[in-house]
Amino acid sequence: MELGKTFDPKQHEAAIYGAWEKSGGFAPRPPGADSLGPFTIMIPPPNVTGVLHMGHALNNTIQDIVIRHRRMQGYEALWLPGTDHAGIATQAVVEKKLLKEQGKKREALGREAFVAEIWKWKEEHGTAILEQLRRLGASCDWSRTRFTLEAGMSEAVRESFVRLWEKGLIYRGARLVNWDCVLETAVSDDEIEMVTRKDKLYFLRYPVEGQTGRTVSVATTRPETMVGDTGVAVHPQDERYRDLVGKFLTLPLIGRRIPVVADESVERKFGTGAVKITPGHDPADYERGQRFHLPIVSVLTKDGKLNEEGGPFAGMPREKARTAILAALEEQGLLEKTEELEHNVPLSDRSKSIIEPMVSEQWFVKMAPLAGPAIEAVRSGQLRFVPERWTKVYLDWLLNVRDWCISRQLWWGHRIPVWYDEDSVPFASRTDLAIGSPHPITKKPIVRQDEDVLDTWASSYLWPFATLGWPAKSEDLARFYPTQFLSTARDIIYLWVARMVMAGYEFIDPKTVQAAKNGADVRCPFSVVNIHATVLDAQGRRMSKSLGNGIDPIEMIEKYGADAVRLSLILLTNEGQDVKLSPDRFDQGYRFANKVWNATRFVLANLDGGNPEVSRDPAAFDTLEDQWIVTRRNVTLANVSKALDEYRFNDAASELYAFIWNDFCDWYLELAKGRFTDSATDSARTARGVLASVLSDTLAMLHPFMPFLSEVLWEALGEKLARKQPLLMNTRWPSSKDAALGGSWMQSMETIQTLVRAVRNVRALTMLGERTPLAATIVAKDGADRQVLTQHQNTCKTIAFLSEITVAESASRPPASAVAVAGTIEVIVQLTSDVDLSKLKEVLEKRLAKGKSGIEALERKLSNAAFVEKADPGIVAGERARLQEIRVENELIARNLAGM
């Protein structure tokens, strides 16, 4: 295979991905002697209506890194994909389409036909987001793709519902729920968003019964709800109203007699200190109403109009009713005044319309009994959040958990498996009950099934095991449950993560899953929850559709390639810290991809037929740079492995990046060039072996991060090395177990690097050409340095383009010379012509000043008895050595400056 001069992702991605899928490498490897056991990740199922955004791109990159790493290590790695039916969102999309294309509302179609329409839409468009995940390189086992509304999931949903029902954890009741008047459904507390906006506070006068002319003013932001008022509350200690408690007021416009009650919850300082009580349309009033047994009057219809309770205003939409009611009150002199007010309005996450609290019959799940084990799971360490701080968020919610409203007035979703007889006695059943069949308890005929469907989360909270076949005792369930890793966004810790944990503890029978490892509770659905960074735009705002500030990952993949997008995201996000992103940030990933591409091209160009397998032990080599790069490879391998094991993706990627660019490319490849001038030598042969070995391991380490690039290059390298298997799964993660991590060669190489940099420094500052041959005298006080430099003087000569090297313990600088000082090493360069030393002087002066302040700081520190006494002896010794070094360096600089 010929590699072009630059990496062109488009040329490879589709083909590579196709080959991976065809190879079956995304499926978990079969159990066997060499297997490390199962390792499972369940994808957070994106909405079927979804489009891949940057958050998905980041999250799925993270999951793919983990699963590819585990797969290469030898685990039976399963990453199970799927989508969520997303009740409200999907129904809304199809409703809109229906209205636009056929001008029909869903009611015109009827339930069955409408749901069929949605399925049709799902079949056509429901895989779009999964295709986008493929573009990203996600190595999911597509053969196991699941959907939260498919048959198997329905069975799981029914089983879970009936079990909770049988335990008495499900109840139906009239409660104040959050009503979305646009979508005409209840939504849960977790699906509303409070938005601060400028509003008006209206002061309404309510006449006191039997005291002509006397009124009580109440302040409200929602005057239209006054028709539902059934009381007015004041604070018990409020002198202004004390005499009125127990008396009655006349509700204007309606004429209802409403009592004045005394309640602690009233804030005396706010408004007039008297608050109208509308139990049917306000959560706080609902509670006050309960306390004083006030009647509940519902005044709104499901689509947000005033109902018959609204008297003359019946039938008006809520906004219109407000204006009309205010006008009517004004006319009667009962609108005292209006004030500006900043306050919070609840908006529906879905429709963005104002939520109306409304009393309605809904199904609820009692959460307290389910929360217990989920709390215990993190306390006992079964479950761990990364970063750890999210534990508190999770716990706070669970400790104050409220019952979960699970019914939704939609058509798209799992229909509630409850049937009623003619007396409306409900029964929850695992199997459909035919109309007319006897009610299992009352024996009276069944007349109808509940019309409502379940909240989407009431199916997706079963995701970790329902996807594996539960409630059946399937092989997959036994093998792949519980999972090891979950990565998700912080905003669904309550909606999804916590509920999955509850579900695991509630529904999983330990006997149906694999034997517990080291005493872990196998019911807990995952052991690590990774909460990834939130991707913000360049101004630090959330990326959102309405702002239009999103960066489309697919567009970025088109431009920079999937590998670049993946690596850039990982390099930019650290420990789940929010990240500000602009499109040009992906450049770093692409540049790096190109660097690796070209480094591989160089290696390939120099490999020939005889490329010996070389040792992983640096001591097996006798050339310094070989010993050094093999050691550096081993250290990198150990660090990257450790970081990945600890889910520190950014650390792992940074480590690899630096190794490849700074060590492998900048130094080893440059040094290797010199050895290939005669490719028949032993030195060249060894270099070929080292290049092949180090590059192979490097590509393997890079694979989880940049799968396409590494696979293409691996394949190209494989041609030269008679190696056939794709990197995807047949190669094990290189082992760092018995690799040496240190050695004197690290020190020696550093000395050489120091020298070379010093020479380059002189050349750059004096405008001597980079390659003009120069004669250099190297003055090194340290015997070990002298030995290294003498021994490796040929290497130094080659890479620093020196014609001659003299190593000495001391020497004085002749007039026609330039000098560089690096640590305790001094490099004196003979000059044959006049050069401008001013720039060099300037830099040396700056270094001298900096050194001085360093010396002062260290001297202060070391003359401090307390430091020497209390600090770790190793640190004291280190500081002494450092001081000594800076002193020597500064002396050298000072002496040389004096002669310039």
Partner RNA sequence: GGGCGAUUAACUCAGCGGCUAGAGUGCCUCCCCUACACGGAGGAAGUCGUGGGUUCGAAUCCCUCAUCGCCCACCA
State which of positions 762-801 bind RNA (CB under 7 A).
763-765, 767, 769-771
The two structure tokens encoding residue 110: 């009827």
**387 preceded by a cis bond (ω within 30 of 0):** yes
Of the two residues 16 and 669, which places its CB atom closer to RNA in the complex? 669
Near RNA in 273-332, by CB under 7 A: 273, 275-276, 282-284
Toward RNA, which CB reaches closer, 662 or 806? 662
Beta-carbon count within 10 A of 440 CB: 13
Which amino acid does the sequence have at 286? Answer: Y
CA distance 280 to 166: 31
- Note the Cα 392 to chain centre separation in Å: 18
Residues 157-196 that bind RNA (CB under 7 A): 189-190, 193-194
Q: Which of 430, 580, 622, 811 binds RNA (CB under 7 A)?
A: 580
Q: Which is nearer to RNA, 19 or 848 (CB)?
A: 848
In 465-559, beta strands by DSSP E: 485-488, 528-531, 535-536
How far is Cα of residue 139 from the mean position of the Cα atoms in its chain? 18
Residue from 601, 180, 250, 104 nearest 408 by CA: 180
Of 362 and 467, nearer to RNA (C-beta) is: 362
The sign of the CA dihedral 466, 471, 476, 482 is: positive
Least Å from the CB of residue 696 to RNA: 16
Please report how close the Cβ of residue 353 comes to RNA at its closest, in angstroms.
17
Residue 842 CB, shortest distance to RNA, in Å, is 8
854 binds RNA (CB under 7 A): yes
Q: How far is the CB of 22 from RNA (least distance, A)?
A: 30
How many residues interact with RNA (rule CB under 7 A)? 99
Q: Of the two residues 166 and 842, which places its CB atom closer to RNA in the complex?
A: 842
- Give residues 221-240 in contact with RNA (rule: CB under 7 A): 221-222
Q: Which of residues 819-848 bind RNA (CB under 7 A)?
A: 843, 846
In the bound state with RNA, the residue whose beta carbon lies nearer, of 76 and 229, is: 229
Determine if 125 is a binding residue for RNA (CB under 7 A).
no
Comparing CB distances to RNA, the nearer of 351 and 574 is 574
Q: Is 449 exposed, middle or buried (0-12, 13-18, 19+ CB in 10 A)?
A: middle
Q: Are strands 76-80 and 38-42 parallel, antiparallel or unpaired?
A: parallel
Confirm or reject binding of residue 10 to RNA (CB under 7 A): no
Q: 843 or 894: whose CB is closer to RNA?
A: 843
Nearer to RNA, 117 or 626 (CB): 626
669 binds RNA (CB under 7 A): yes
Would you report the helix, strand and coil content of the chain in percent, each value rounded to 5? 50, 20, 35
Choose between 99 and 857: whose C-beta lies nearer to RNA: 857
Mention every residue, 6+ apart, whose C-beta is less than 8 A from residue 353.
180, 181, 182, 183, 347
Give, as ranges, the residues between 588 and 627 that touch RNA (CB under 7 A): 588, 590-591, 594-595, 598-599, 601-602, 605
CB of 270 to RNA, least distance (A): 3
Q: What x/- string results for residues 97 through 116 when contact with RNA is judged by CB under 7 A?
A: --------------------
Q: To the nearest whole angstrom, how small is the minimum distance from the Cβ of residue 804 to RNA?
A: 20
Torsion on CA atoms 473, 477, 481, 485, rounded to nearest 10: -150
Binder to RNA among 328, 871, 897, 900 (CB under 7 A)? 871
> Secondary structure of 367-400 in the HEC alphabet?
CHHHHHHHHHHHHCCCCEEECCCHHHHHHHHHHC
Considering only 319, 361, 587, 645, the residue that binds RNA (CB under 7 A) is 587
Binders in 376-405 for RNA, by CB under 7 A? 389, 392-393, 396-397, 400
95 is a site residue for RNA (CB under 7 A): no
> Site for RNA (CB under 7 A): which residue of 155, 184, 336, 575?
575
Q: Which helix (H) or strand (E) holds 554?
A: helix 553-560
User: Would you count residue 853 as binding RNA (CB under 7 A)?
Assistant: yes
Handedness of CA 415, 420, 424, 427 (dihedral sign): negative
| Distance (Å, whole) CA 548 – CA 554 | 16
Residue placing its CB nearer to RNA in the complex, 645 or 770: 770
C-alpha to C-alpha distance for 48 and 43, rounded to whole angstroms = 13
Our CB check for RNA shows the closer of 371 and 416 to be: 371
CB atoms within 10 A of CB 182: 14
- Cβ proximity to RNA, 466 vs 684, nearer residue: 684
549 binds RNA (CB under 7 A): no
Smaller CB separation from RNA, 314 or 665:
665
Q: Which of residues 674-713 bind RNA (CB under 7 A)?
A: none
Q: Which of 753, 838, 759, 818 is nearest to 788 (CA)?
A: 753
Burial class (CB in 10 A: 0-12, 13-18, 19+), 267: exposed
Q: How far apart are the first and last CA of the chain?
A: 56
Binding mask 342-361 toward RNA (x if CB under 7 A, else -) reads: -xx-----------------
State which of positions 400-439 bind RNA (CB under 7 A): 400
CB 875, min distance to RNA, A: 5
Write down the least CB distance from residue 574 to RNA, Å.
4
Contact 640, 648 (CB under 8 A): no
Q: Does 880 bind RNA (CB under 7 A)?
A: no
Smallest gap from residue 715 Cβ to RNA (A)? 18
**What does residue 631 show for φ and ψ, rounded to 5 degrees?**
-65, -45
Measured between alpha carbons, how far is 708 from 454 in angstroms, rounded to an integer?
41
Nearer to RNA, 150 or 845 (CB): 845
Q: How far is the CB of 595 from RNA (least distance, A)?
A: 5
DSSP assignment of 217-255 equals EEEES-GGGGGG--EEEE-TT-TTTGGGTT-EEE-TTT-
| Residue with Cβ nearer RNA (794 or 884) | 884
* Least distance from RNA to the Cβ atom of residue 439, Å: 38
Sheet containing 257-262: order of strands: 248-250, 257-262, 231-234, 274-277
CB nearer to RNA: give 287 or 617.
Answer: 287
Segment 437-496, which members bind RNA (CB under 7 A)?
490-491, 494
585 near RNA, judged by CB under 7 A: yes
When asked if residue 879 is in the footprint of RNA (CB under 7 A), the reply is: yes
Of residues 736-765, those binding RNA (CB under 7 A)? 757, 760-761, 763-765
Distance in Å, CB of 540 to RNA, minimum = 6
Of 9 and 464, nearer to RNA (C-beta) is 9
* SS3 label, residue 81: coil
Q: How far is the CB of 281 from RNA (least distance, A)?
A: 9
CB 270 within 8 A of CB 282: no
By CB under 7 A, tell whether 541 contacts RNA: yes
Query: Which value, in Å, is the radius of gyration of the alpha carbons in the chain?
Result: 37
Distance of CA 10 to the CA centre of its chain: 27
Residue 706, CA distances (Å) to 61, 356, 597, 720 in order: 10, 49, 12, 22
Of residues 636 through 655, those in contact with RNA by CB under 7 A are 654
Residues 191 to 220 in contact with RNA, rule: CB under 7 A: 193-194, 218-220
Of 339, 542, 583, 877, the one binding RNA by CB under 7 A: 542
Decide if residue 146 touches RNA (CB under 7 A).
Answer: no
Site residues for RNA, 43-82, by CB under 7 A, read none
Q: How far is CA 15 from CA 19, 50, 536, 564, 886, in A?
A: 6, 25, 32, 17, 56
Distance CA 414, CA 153 (A): 9
